[in-house]
Structure 1
Amino acid sequence: MSSSSPQPDIVIFCGGRGTRLSEKTREMPKPLIELGEYPILWHIMKLYSHYNLNRFILTLGYKGEMITDYFLYRHPLTQSFSMNLSKPKHPTPDEDWEIAFVQTGIESKTARRLILCRDQIQSDFFMVTYGDGVADIDIPALMKRHKELKKKYGVVATITVTRPYSKYGITTLNGDIVQSFSEKPQMNDYINVGFMVLEKQIFDYIRQDEDLMFEDTLQEVAEDRKLGYYIHEGFWHAMDNYKDYEDLNKMWRENPKWKIWNE
């Protein structure tokens, strides 16, 4: 393993089955579901790459060979290129990304997937996110917030939180009539949307012999008062179900708020 890098590596959870989107995940892993002409995983990586963070660690599981195949063979062919057919040569992708493909098991939960890629992490601290959500998060501001919280409170993890919008219209009742009705209002509570910054001390909370969700790990960190947060007020949307798939693709065509890169 090479010496520590000043820029954080990015771990992306890519191994789950995505059962709530089975219309698509019967055929492919969730991170490869298309959002426009590229998979949602590419969109997530482009956000980090916009801030010159170009080393990724993908925790592969369900149909993981399809993700490897995409980056090795399919993605380079999405661009325009020419070749001499007498000396065919695979085109080079535009993105200057280094990707570690880590086999973490078909059924592993996220905490185990993370610890299985521990040896691939070359940076002093690192970042982790889920392979199914896009956002216009200010990554430098997130890292700055983490460093401040680490210095002040000794945090080992900082999560990004946002206030989601309700999927339902909210009514307030007054006797036999409706006093007020709000169509899909923003909720008061915050949720973790990924885009986390972690110190390597996080591995002190993950036991090799247990297979748990990473959210269980974060709960332990929170109980130790070592979990910080960064409030994201901008756009975030996960691809949880088929309606999310349709909505995000419509946004991509009309107004992709998460597309902060230029090309």
Structure 2
Amino acid sequence: MQVVILCGGKGTRLREETEFRPKPMVPVGEHPILWHIMKTYAHYGHKEFILCLGYKGHVIKDYFLNYRYQSNDFTLKLGQDQQLAFHGTSGGEDDWVITMANTGEDTMTGGRVKRIEKYIKGDLIMLTYGDGVGNVDINALLEFHKQHGKLATLTGVRPPGRFGELMTDNSLITEFNEKPQTSGGRINGGFFVFSRDAFKYLSADAGSILEQEPLRKLAADRQLVCFPHDGFWQPMDTFREFEMLNQLWVRNQAPWKVW
């Protein structure tokens, strides 16, 4: 199944890293966060991607156009009959199929999704943001969407708790929780599934924001359901979050590494 990833935002709150590259290309370990997201979907068998490019989209194009050179050792024979021999494989990504679609420098999320409709082949697509990782069970999400028979499903996650959480009974602390998610309400964590008819709710207008009129209208029409995810989920919106994700990766404690 095709996976659409929103890759066009400017990431202004992470200016230290995004001045010269789009946020999906900000590294977690030795790979950009976009690679981590794609590896998650590929683990569940979904290896056909549509990347909605915008701000500095050429950086993403260059990365994948040169992916084999970056990922492998190779021997180069110079001269008039130049020859190149690669050693090894790309690490499991040889069968990925990636469509890179320019969706506008300043286009908002709804407009970006609508503008790639021409590349959609089947009755269902998956969609997520290019700056957040999680250990979401992608195939369970897909089955959830099919069972409910609605036009759209989003993954509802627990907001990451910045300072930890205290569970109390009057003044008695009953639980001290330093986990990254709180136990309160859920927020939109991305990892969507859309039926083809959901595109009728979208506009190609550059100012169309997926999270406003389209999702609100789907909800009002009782066509939007929430897949609950209580596991790990973390966006990379700030430098502190960038550092936290990199520390988890370096320590081999990355919960989203399901592959």
User: Which TM-score bucket, shorter chain as reference?
Assistant: 0.7 to 0.9
Structure 2-normalised TM-score?
0.88
What is the percent sequence identity of the aligned residues? Answer: 40
Q: Give 5+ residue unaligned stretches, structure 2.
A: none
Q: Is the 8 A contact 1:171 1:179 kept in 2?
A: no
Aligned match of 1:256? 254
**1: distance between equivalents of 2:177 and 2:24?**
31
Aligned match of 1:55? 48
For residue 79 of structure 1, report the CA deviation from its aligned partner.
Answer: 2.4
Aligned match of 2:38? 45
Aligned match of 1:116? 115
Matched, 1:79 2:72: yes
Matched, 1:163 2:166: no
Aligned match of 1:17? 10
Q: How does 1:75-224 map to 2 (within 5 A)?
A: 76-85=69-78, 86-89=81-84, 91=86, 93-94=90-91, 95=93, 96-150=95-149, 155-168=150-163, 186-209=182-205, 211-216=207-212, 217-224=214-221
Structure with a larger share of its residues in strand? 2
Q: Is the 8 A contact 1:115 1:206 kept in 2?
A: yes
**2: distance between equivalents of 1:168 and 1:188?**
14
**2: distance between equivalents of 1:238 and 1:130?**
9
**2: distance between equivalents of 1:241 and 1:143?**
30
**1: distance between equivalents of 2:209 and 2:105?**
14
**1: distance between equivalents of 2:135 and 2:68?**
23
**2: distance between equivalents of 1:239 and 1:165?**
11
Structure 1-normalised TM-score?
0.86
Q: Is the 8 A contact 2:50 2:101 kept in 1?
A: yes
**1: distance between equivalents of 2:130 and 2:215?**
18
Segments ≥4 residues shifted beyond 4 Å: 169-173, 178-185
CA RMSD, 1 decimal: 2.4
**1: distance between equivalents of 2:70 and 2:131?**
23
**1: distance between equivalents of 2:84 and 2:114?**
37
Distance 1:93 1:65, change over 3 A: same
Aligned match of 2:234? 237
Instruction: Give the counterpart letter for 1:140 in structure 2.
Output: N
Distance 1:74 1:172, change over 3 A: closer
Matched, 1:28 2:24: no
Aligned length: 248
**2: distance between equivalents of 1:208 and 1:79?**
39
Distance 1:236 1:209, change over 3 A: closer
**1: distance between equivalents of 2:43 and 2:29?**
19
